[in-house]
Structure 1
Amino acid sequence: MNSDIILGRWKQWKGQVWQAWAEFSGSDCAWLTGSNDCLSGVLQEDYGREQEELSSVKRPH
């Protein structure tokens, strides 16, 4: 498993925690932080998946 996939999942989880805290505290800033973390986590995880796909495809010499 690619490190970008792991870091992306971590960012998504962290973003969900921020969003839960925002619901509890009513903080718009915390919600925005969580939303940004989730989005960057999804993008980083997708990037890691693409890297894995490309590395698994054998390139002709």
Structure 2
Amino acid sequence: MNWDRVEGNWKQFSGNVKTQWGKLTDDDLTQINGNREILEGKLQEKYGLAKDEASKQVNNWSESIKRM
């Protein structure tokens, strides 16, 4: 998925993000505001993931929403 689409429609995608990663709070989602790097950083922080694993999870998620 083109990340610009996610960023431009963040409010629509944020519910799906919260479903995928339940530890993210509404405040986290507001801070992320569609920024992929911030999302990956929050995943590292909340889930204790390595940078490459956070990136992989975001890639997998973005591929899954492409099929929606």
Q: Give yes or no for TM over 0.5.
A: no
Tell which has more relative contact order, 1 or 2 (C-alpha 8 A, sep 6+): 1
Structure number, greater radius of gyration: 1
- For normalisation by structure 2, the TM-score amounts to 0.31
The structure with the largest helix share of the pair is 1
- For normalisation by structure 1, the TM-score amounts to 0.34
